[in-house]
Structure 1
């Protein structure tokens, strides 16, 4: 990380804050490689808290300078006008994901609003916060296309797609994820939005060992597939995505739709398009959803890919 580029980083954050950021937003996306020397740095605005993430261990001099710049930022009038309550640095390169508060007081479990829907975050203990802001357009798409649908949400995590689907009038949503703790948080997200939980099913199972149970609750009018790029011992992208698409024939209803997502720079859109042709040739590619502009990447194929099939 380039110490000389820190001024650019702080200036960009100030510019973004001046536009009255919403409850949850990416303010700086160094991972998009548009700012040389800052590729391993991101900044998120989460319920009036500025969370800086470092993805590679920096030199001690860089950390000291970053902390000094952030402390200086808190003295400026435009910062005070934001209502900010905390600045913290998350060291994503460390095994324990250490989060260091450098100003204010951290609220670990704030509730944020995204397009009128409420989600509870969990900041400080885990690598992720409980909601992926780059997928906001995907959640909106699901909400807009869920009316009367029977929805399957694979790799549901904290059930963001499920919340969007029920808000959009889905008849029923089945969430599948092997992490039961994440599904419990998803249940709470539904409760935050005063949803009827009798329309939502939570299956805490390994997807690859539970096709019978998943199929029994089908067929589905809309299937969302949003797996991790890699999860040791449970998911390898190029090998296991194919296994999922192979099941579409027995899961997807006539005229059904699939939102297939992948967030890995090692594959492009053609990976999903061609694999779908091979494993489920009756399903046709329709469109790629736009990513939020704040997640712009110098290589669009390296960023999140959310593709609609029908």
Structure 2
């Protein structure tokens, strides 16, 4: 990270802030390596709060210069014409990823909208706030392709895909995640959108111990697989993804679809295509979803890979 690059950070962030619409968006994405010296910084517009995230420990001179730069933002015309209430700096490289308030009043919980849907974020001491913004177009696709369908949402986290599916008139959604706390947030996200919870199930469950709970709901018209790259003691993407893919033929309806995702920068889309061919050869690769334009990447294979397959 270089202090000489901070004017570029200001230019892109403030320009994006001046044109931002009502929904949540990323303002600056340095992690795509398109901005030299800013590869470990992101900036998000969270509808009243601006969150700057540092993903690598900075040198002391850079941190001081960054804090000074952030304070200067608050006196610019772009900032003053926005409805921003606070400016937050998250140290993602530290344990528990603490957040400090640079300006304004820090609200630890924040309601945001995306594609017309409402989600609650935690902006306290969690590494992740509750919604991965690079998956915006994935949730949009699910909303547009869920009508009258039974949906299985694996590694559901806070149930963003589930909310999108019910908004798209899905018949039923089954959410699976090992962490019951994120499923509770998922319930809350559904309630925020006025959804009928009798159409949704939430299971705090390790899929590698048993598939019985999943199979008892019958076959699914759409299966979403969006796993972490690595979760100590439970999931490693290069050796465990295959165990899921080989289960798909028995879980999918005829002509059922799969949205399979990988966010490991070291793995290409071909990783998914090859493993699907090996483990579930009756599924055909259809297309790869675009990533949002606000997530530029020097290498398309380094960013999010969200692929559609069909039985």
TM-score > 0.5 by shorter chain: yes
Q: Does 1:101 align with 2:104?
A: no
**1:160–1:186: 8 Å Cα contact kept in structure 2?**
yes
For 1:207 and 1:276, how far apart are their aligned partners in 2?
Answer: 18
Q: Does 1:172 align with 2:172?
A: yes
**Cα distance, 1:18 vs structure 2:** 1.1
1:121 is matched with 121
2:14 is matched with 14
Compare 207-216 and 167-176 and name the one that shifted more: 207-216
1:24 is matched with 24
**Cα distance, 1:210 vs structure 2:** 2.5
For 1:38 and 1:170, how far apart are their aligned partners in 2?
Answer: 41
Q: Does 1:191 align with 2:185?
A: no
Question: Following superposition, which runs of at least 4 residues in structure 1 exceed 3 angstroms of deviation?
Answer: none
For 1:95 and 1:107, how far apart are their aligned partners in 2?
Answer: 21
Q: Does 1:52 align with 2:49?
A: no
Name the SS of the counterpart of 1:285 in structure 2: strand
**Cα distance, 1:98 vs structure 2:** 1.2
2:142 is matched with 142
For 2:73 and 2:117, how far apart are their aligned partners in 1?
Answer: 31
For 2:85 and 2:169, how far apart are their aligned partners in 1?
Answer: 36
Gap regions ≥5 residues in structure 2: none
Gap regions ≥5 residues in structure 1: none
2:236 is matched with 236
**1:23–1:48: 8 Å Cα contact kept in structure 2?**
no
Compare 69-78 and 149-158 and name the one that shifted more: 69-78
For 1:238 and 1:96, how far apart are their aligned partners in 2?
Answer: 26
1:227 is matched with 227
**Cα distance, 1:23 vs structure 2:** 2.8
Residues 222-260 of structure 1: per-residue CA shift (max 9 Å, x gap): 000000011111110010000000101211111100000
Residues 73-96 of structure 1: per-residue CA shift (max 9 Å, x gap): 111222111111111111111112
2:309 is matched with 309
Name the SS of the counterpart of 1:5 in structure 2: helix
For 1:96 and 1:224, how far apart are their aligned partners in 2?
Answer: 28
**1:142–1:164: 8 Å Cα contact kept in structure 2?**
yes
1:293 is matched with 293
TM-score by length of 1: 0.99
Name the SS of the counterpart of 1:152 in structure 2: strand
**1:121–1:130: 8 Å Cα contact kept in structure 2?**
yes
Name the SS of the counterpart of 1:301 in structure 2: coil
Equivalent pairs, count: 310
For 2:128 and 2:242, how far apart are their aligned partners in 1?
Answer: 26
Q: Does 1:81 align with 2:77?
A: no
TM-score by length of 2: 0.98
For 1:173 and 1:247, how far apart are their aligned partners in 2?
Answer: 18
1:208 is matched with 208
Name the SS of the counterpart of 1:58 in structure 2: coil
Name the SS of the counterpart of 2:241 in structure 1: helix
For 2:44 and 2:20, how far apart are their aligned partners in 1?
Answer: 13
For 1:23 and 1:127, how far apart are their aligned partners in 2?
Answer: 22
Residues 47-100 of structure 1: per-residue CA shift (max 9 Å, x gap): 221111111110111111111111111112221111111111111111121111
For the aligned residue pairs, the C-alpha RMSD in angstroms reads 0.8
1:253 is matched with 253
Name the SS of the counterpart of 1:300 in structure 2: coil
